[in-house]
Amino acid sequence: MTARLSTGDSPRELGEAPATLAEAHEVLWRQRPARDADPSVWVDFHRHSAKVYAQTAEVDLRHQYEAAQCAGLEIRKARTIEDRLNPDLDGEEA
């Protein structure tokens, strides 16, 4: 395994889907919103992260279950923020 230094325009940063869980972590870390970003931005980020991890689980078979777990955690994070933004919904689907 070799270490890779970021050049700023790696194929993963230019839109290719990550091929490994480590790449998914790296790509998503670079896409993280600012800490003080609007909560809706964080919801979108967590939902996007869940999709990336789910796609990664399909191609990185050595880390399939871990990537799937990461996807589930990201969905929970998004739902937690949504629940805080809309406490009147109490889990009701519209």
SS3 (DSSP) at 25:
helix
Query: What pLDDT sits at residue 15?
Result: 63
Q: What is the pLDDT of residue 87?
A: 81
Q: Looking at residue 93, what is its pLDDT?
A: 56
Nearest C-alpha neighbor of 21 from the set 66, 77, 76, 51: 66
Contacts for 33-39: CB closer than 8 Å, 24+ residues apart: 39/81, 39/84, 39/85
What are the residue boundaries of the structural domains of the chain, listed by start?
A: 21-25+36-85
* 94 residues of the chain, pLDDT tens digit each: 333 334 444 444 446 789 999 999 999 999 999 999 999 999 999 999 999 999 999 999 999 999 999 999 999 999 999 999 988 766 555 4
Q: What is the DSSP letter of 59?
A: H
Q: What angle do CA 24, 40, 56 make, to 5 degrees?
A: 15
The torsion region of residue 90 among left (phi > 0), alpha (psi -120 to 50) and beta comes to left
**Can you tell me the distance from the alpha carbon of 47 to that of 73, in angstroms, rounded to the nearest whole number?**
10
pLDDT confidence of residue 1 = 35
